[in-house]
Amino acid sequence: MVGDSKVSRDGAGRRGRADRPGRYAPLARDARFMRLRRRFLRAAAGITVVFFGWYAVYVALSAFARGFMARQVAGPVNVALLLGLLQFASTFLLAWGYVAYARRRLDPLAAELRARRPPSYGNGAAR
């Protein structure tokens, strides 16, 4: 629970991280790390733009094209209901696409970085 966590303190009793400042700075300057970060940011930004763009179109149609959204497709099912269900489907499709992209383009690069890191970075275990 929230109250169970303890604030980490350094040897002087100050709050904050116990790691030395700049411990991971050499890794952050590594060309492979920068490529990994660039790939992640590009994918995350693209997925975010697509998702919010599609959502904005749905909201705009709901607000300004009421006649179109009220058009019956089959029985009591109208365009608004279909587009609303497509919002859920597109969310799962985007998540699946990101996972596939990450497995193909991000995970191998991250594994390479983990395999080549100097021993001073530790074993990667959670603290």
Q: How far apart are CA 64 and CA 22, in angstroms?
A: 52
The answer to whether residue 85 scores a pLDDT higher than 90 is yes
Q: How far apart are CA 37 and CA 28, in angstroms?
A: 9
CA atoms within 13 A on the CB side of 106: 15
The contacts of residue 61 (CB under 8 Å, 6+ apart) are 68, 69, 80, 83
Mean pLDDT of the chain: 84
pLDDT, one tens digit per residue, over 99-118 is 999 999 999 999 998 888 76
Mean per-residue pLDDT, 28-42:
91
Per-residue pLDDT at 122: 55
Per-residue pLDDT at 118: 66
Per-residue pLDDT at 117: 72
